[in-house]
Structure 1
Amino acid sequence: MLPPRYSLSDTNFHRRVCVPASQRPSVVFAGLLIENREGLILFMRRANTGFADGMWSLPGGRVEHGELLVQAAVREAEEEVGLHVPAEALRTAHVLNKISDDGTPVVGWYFHTARWDGVPANREPDRCSELAWFSPDAMDPCTETTDRHAVRAWQLGRATSWF
């Protein structure tokens, strides 16, 4: 089901519709389902970020200005978990679109790979307390909601979702 359209009486209507697109915020991020030989997916426990701290999330982050989604995924794998992931090894796992609590449009493009070089390491100890491998069928109950949804959708072969 698609989210309802905004009405003229919506308190945020002016901000969402009347403000030029260049001044409206949006979030585009790349997420990574990094799979090992045993079929487990790499997760990071968030810490000191101000978002979902203490929860498990997939490696990934916002796409920077002038950067392609695939470039963001490769960069985030290196920055966060110290893995070299060749761009050609990335396959789209799932794309989701949602509206954040403050009304900001969010697009998450999740990539899957089972081909990478290196040994997973916590490269951002100020933002991540630990790394762990989880089965897609047995994710920790404290897995961040959007990432949990993306992994489940990938398992089911659902290319897109919105909520």
Structure 2
Amino acid sequence: MPEPKRSAVVFAGLIIQNAEGAVLFMRRANTGFADGMWSLPGGRVDHGELLVQAAAREAEEEIGLRVCVQDLHTAHVLNKISADGTPVVGWYFLTNKWTGTPENREPHLCSELEWIQPHAMDPHTEPTDHDAVEAWRSGRVAGWV
């Protein structure tokens, strides 16, 4: 019997950069994936939602920042196959414009927020997000794994 087809997982990530050039990271907790590691804000795209809308929604839900979709610029696109064979598409957006003050709005899933210089990322950064930041820094927009 042929293996059933799996739908792709599509997510939008955010590289939010402040005036000093640091990027906002969240330390994951109680998610079952990469707990204890630093990651970028973001999440899955909902049905009927554009990628930029998902990124803006996740910014407000996770860290309390309001981001206009017009201020989101493509920083990196990722396409890979997960360990279980599911296709994954990640679209990372860059912005340095927002309103509000970063706050942890999901303390049950995130233990802390921190501004980290992209050239000095912690070794315990979630690998996909680490690669996205490195690709953005080097000017490489697309990546396949």
TM interval, shorter chain, is over 0.9
Q: Deviations over 1:87-128 (max 9, x none)?
A: 100000000101000000000000000001100000000000
Q: TM-score, normalised by structure 2?
A: 0.98
| Matched residue type, 1:52 | A
Out of 45, 51, 56, the position equivalent to 1:69 is 51
In the aligned structure 1, how far is the partner of 2:48 from the partner of 2:110? Answer: 26
Report the alpha carbon displacement of residue 26 of structure 1 after superposing the two structures with TM: 1.6
CA-based RMSD of the aligned residues comes to 1.1
Q: Any unmatched runs of 5+ in structure 2? A: none
Report the alpha carbon displacement of residue 14 of structure 1 after superposing the two structures with TM: 2.5
Larger Rg: 1
Matched, 1:91 2:79: no
In the aligned structure 1, how far is the partner of 2:49 from the partner of 2:135? Answer: 26
In the aligned structure 1, how far is the partner of 2:93 from the partner of 2:65? Answer: 14
Q: Deviations over 1:39-88 (max 9, x none)?
A: 00000000000000000000000001111000000000000000000110
Identical counterparts, % of pairs: 69
Q: Give the corresponding residue for 1:124.
A: 106
Q: TM-score, normalised by structure 1?
A: 0.87
Higher relative CO (Cα under 8 Å, sequence separation at least 6) belongs to 2
Aligned length: 145
| Matched residue type, 1:106 | V
